[in-house]
Every structure is written in C-alpha cells, then in structure tokens.
C-alpha cells in the first residue's frame, strides 16, 4: 500500500504541541486515541539514528490519562486487571494489562497513583475510559472517571539525562526505571517518570493544561540546544529492536496477557475476583497456545506490515508477524509476532509470507536489544 494523505478535521484532535510539530516539518502521522501522533520527521532511518545517539522531545499527548478518583477508585482498578498493584510503592509506575471477563487484553496501560484516592491510567489506543466509567455506573461505585487535561511529553535518547538535569536539577539522577516523582518547574511542580516508548534512556512529563505543557516544551528546547535536541516521535524500527509491543498491532482484544508475556506479573492464587480471573487461571494452569516472539527475517527490506503476515514451518501455519522493519543495528529485518508452541523455541527456523513473497526467518524468545546485552539471561 502506498502512503496516502491523512484528512484533518476536529475529530482527529490536535495537541498543545501540534504547531511545534508542524514547524519541525512532520512528514506523517498516525491517529491514536482520536489524536494526532507523529510517526516520521526526516526519514524513519534518520529519526532512528538520531534517537539512538542524541535526545528527542516527543508529543505523546495521545497517551490519554484516564483519571479514576474517589473512595472506590482502588476497588474499581483492581476489578479491571489481573495485576495486584496494591503493594506497589506509590513512587513507582505500574504496567497494567486491562482484561475483559474472558481474560482478553482490553488495554495495555501504565498506572500512576497521584494521591491516595486518585490514579491516572495512561491508555493505549481505545476508549478504555468508557469501559471503566460504565463498570462503575453498572456496579454503583463511588468514583469519578474522566479523561484528564494532561498531554504527556516524552524525552528520549541517551542524552536525555543531560537535558533533564539542566531543566530539573541533580535530583533527577535518582529516578530509576519506572520511578515517578514530583519535580519543581517554575512556580509549580510536575510529575516526571523515567519511562517512554523506546529502548533508550528516557523520561515522561505530565503537565496539567495546555499553557503549562507548552512552556515545558519550549524550555526543553531552550535547554537542549547544545545537545542537538530534535522534535521526534516513537520510531518503528527502534521499538521493534527494543521489543516494545503495540496494542492494536502486536496484541489485540483476541489475546490474553499471558500470550503477550505478561503472565509473570500476576499469580493465579488471588482472592480478588477481577474480570478474567477464571479464564486466566485456566490458561496459567494449561499454558498458552501461542506467545509473543521476536523474529529476524532474511532477505531484502520488508514492506510495511499492515495486515498480519502468516508464519509457516513448511505448510503448517505456526503464527503471524504483526510488526516488521529493517534494522540497521541488526543488519537484517526484525519483527514481532504471535507464534504457536510448535515454533516458539529460540532459534526455530520458519518462513514469513509477506506481500512480496516468502522470506526465511528465525524465531527468538528475546528482542534484538536484549539478545545483544547482558540481559540475555534474564529475559
């Protein structure tokens, strides 16, 4: 499929940063949570090299923060996920798979506890706020659920710490992966987390209101000039190398969190009756039929994966690929897919059927990045 234009209308929401993104000559967008999300500025490869060597500021306003507030907020949140987050320290972000009564993935979110009875759930691409609101109404819970007026900014790349330190001072150094803390900014303070949708060092800032958000954005660029800072965006190549899954691409409402590799985040032995409990208990006992795997695909650069590509061993389909790109670091194509137990072992040789024909490929348990680091033994 050739690249078409995107028609703009109010329904595809702009963000406080859209003008800045346009000034930086954004080439293409996707639509995420009814909002513009940039995908390419220079070229996919040029953006990739810059992200892996410098620092970028990303408009990730589309990571809408669903605010769940009130006496029943904790109870409601525990209903929607298999993960027991109640023992997590409040200065930690929590990855939260949201499941339906059949244990299928409804959302792939990150939870922050803002105050005792107030949480922000960073939503992936669907209107999970409608799901959470309606559950609360149906069960008559004392809680309010709304989309908060928060447009997150991501600061990603190896030089992100230098930039963040210039803006927020030395204490930012103490922020560990997935930590979230308040930091001073001008006359206010802001939530900052060490998170982001890349395999690089990175941070995310959560500011309330458009005006403050834009002031932060501009400050980041002023402070980052000497660091070769650029407007950037999540990069398809880099996120596949890093093994970061995308809801709607690599997993859908047809997959369980166990298939997605999140099974270690929750145990079957819980007394709390969350939505999906019995289905997930059964799957943990019997084992999943298929799981997320990472692939290297030989041959020339693969096209854009807009539909799942079947994966075969001889004539038997053993899964599909859902995201793929040529990786300069790997010197080959890298991919993410859902693979059945016949083929999910490390090093299994398979064939991937793309619109340009069959490619030889190999299945791995870990992503490209993890295979090339010391993390290889722990993944």
Q: Of 162 and 317, which CB lies nearer to its own copies in the complex structure?
A: 317
Residue 245 touches its own copies, criterion: CB under 8 A: no
Residue 164 touches its own copies, criterion: CB under 8 A: no
354 membership: H or E segment, kind and range? strand 349-354
Residue 349 touches its own copies, criterion: CB under 8 A: no
CA distance 124 to 118: 19
The single residue among 75, 88, 92, 126 that binds its own copies, judged by CB under 8 A, is 126
- Cα 166-93-289 angle, rounded to 5 deg: 130
CA distance 356 to 333: 14
Residue 376 touches its own copies, criterion: CB under 8 A: no
Question: What tokens were used for 261?
Answer: 């590799």
CA distance 304 to 359: 14
Q: How far is the CB of 282 from its own copies (least distance, A)?
A: 19
- DSSP string of 311-349? EEETTEEEEEEEEEEEETTTTEEEEEEEEETTT-STT-E
Per-residue contact flags (x/-) with its own copies for residues 296 to 335, judged by CB under 8 A:
--------xxxxx-------------xx------------
Q: Of 29 and 359, which CB lies nearer to its own copies in the complex structure?
A: 29
Residue 242 touches its own copies, criterion: CB under 8 A: no
| Residues of this chain, 34-63, that bind its own copies according to CB under 8 A | 34, 39-40
Residue 2 touches its own copies, criterion: CB under 8 A: yes
The single residue among 23, 71, 139, 228 that binds its own copies, judged by CB under 8 A, is 139
What is the DSSP-derived secondary structure letter of residue 270? -
Residue 145 touches its own copies, criterion: CB under 8 A: no
- DSSP string of 130-162? HHHHHHHHHTT-S-EEEE-SB--EEEESTTHHH
Residue 27 touches its own copies, criterion: CB under 8 A: yes
> Is residue 378 exposed (0-12), middle (13-18) or buried (19+ Cβ within 10 Å)?
exposed
Q: How far is the CB of 222 from its own copies (least distance, A)?
A: 25
Residue partners of 154: CB distance under 8 A and separation at least 6: 57, 58, 60, 196, 197, 198, 202, 203, 204
The interaxial angle of helices 210-223 and 160-168, nearest 10 deg, is 120
Residue 355 touches its own copies, criterion: CB under 8 A: no
Q: Of 19 and 289, which CB lies nearer to its own copies in the complex structure?
A: 19
The single residue among 96, 106, 153, 201 that binds its own copies, judged by CB under 8 A, is 106
Q: How far is the CB of 322 from its own copies (least distance, A)?
A: 6
Binding region for its own copies (CB under 8 A) out of 54-62, 127-135, 222-230, 285-293: 127-135
Q: Of 323 and 351, which CB lies nearer to its own copies in the complex structure?
A: 323
CB atoms within 10 A of CB 226: 10
Residue 31 touches its own copies, criterion: CB under 8 A: yes
Q: Of 154 and 191, which CB lies nearer to its own copies in the complex structure?
A: 154
Q: Which of 177, 76, 175, 176 lies closest to 133, judged by CA?
A: 76
Residues that bind its own copies (CB under 8 A): 1-12, 14, 18, 22, 26-31, 34, 39-40, 100-101, 106, 125-128, 130-140, 246-249, 275, 304-308, 322-323
């Amino acid at each position: 499929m050739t690249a078409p234009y995107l028609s703009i209308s109010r329904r595809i929401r702009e963000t406080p940063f859209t003008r800045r993104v346009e000034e930086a000559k954004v080439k293409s967008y996707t639509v995420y949570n009814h909002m513009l999300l940039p995908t390419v500025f220079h070229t996919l490869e040029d953006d990739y090299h810059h992200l892996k060597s410098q620092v970028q500021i990303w408009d990730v306003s589309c990571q809408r923060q669903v605010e769940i507030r009130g006496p029943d907020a904790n109870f409601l949140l525990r209903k929607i996920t298999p993960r027991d987050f109640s023992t997590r320290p409040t200065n930690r972000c929590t990855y939260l798979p949201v499941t339906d009564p059949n244990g299928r993935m409804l959302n792939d979110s990150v939870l922050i506890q803002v105050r005792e009875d107030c949480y922000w759930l960073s939503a992936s691409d669907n209107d999970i706020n409608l799901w959470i609101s309606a559950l609360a109404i149906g069960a008559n819970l004392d809680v309010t659920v709304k989309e908060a007026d928060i447009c997150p900014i991501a600061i990603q790349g190896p030089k992100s710490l230098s930039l963040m330190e210039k803006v927020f001072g030395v204490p930012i150094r103490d922020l560990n992966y997935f930590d979230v803390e308040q930091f001073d900014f001008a006359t206010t303070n802001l939530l900052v987390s060490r998170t982001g949708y890349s395999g690089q060092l990175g941070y995310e800032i959560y500011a309330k209101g458009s005006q403050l958000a834009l002031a932060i954005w501009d400050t980041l660029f002023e402070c980052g000039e000497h660091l070769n800072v650029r407007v950037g965006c999540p990069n398809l190549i880099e996120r596949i190398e890093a093994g970061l899954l995308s809801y709607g691409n690599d997993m859908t409402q047809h997959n369980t969190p166990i298939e997605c590799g999140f099974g270690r985040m929750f145990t079957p032995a819980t007394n709390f009756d969350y939505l999906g409990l019995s289905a997930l208990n059964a799957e943990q006992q019997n084992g999943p039929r298929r799981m997320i795997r990472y692939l290297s695909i030989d041959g020339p650069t693969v096209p854009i994966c807009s539909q799942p590509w079947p994966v075969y061993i001889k004539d038997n389909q053993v899964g599909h690929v859902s995201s793929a790109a040529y990786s300069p670091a790997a010197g080959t194509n890298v991919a993410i897919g859902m693979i059945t137990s016949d083929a999910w072992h490390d090093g299994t040789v398979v064939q991937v059927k793309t619109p340009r024909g069959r490619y030889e490929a190999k299945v791995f348990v870990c992503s490209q990045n993890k295979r090339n680091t010391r993390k290889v033994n722990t993944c």
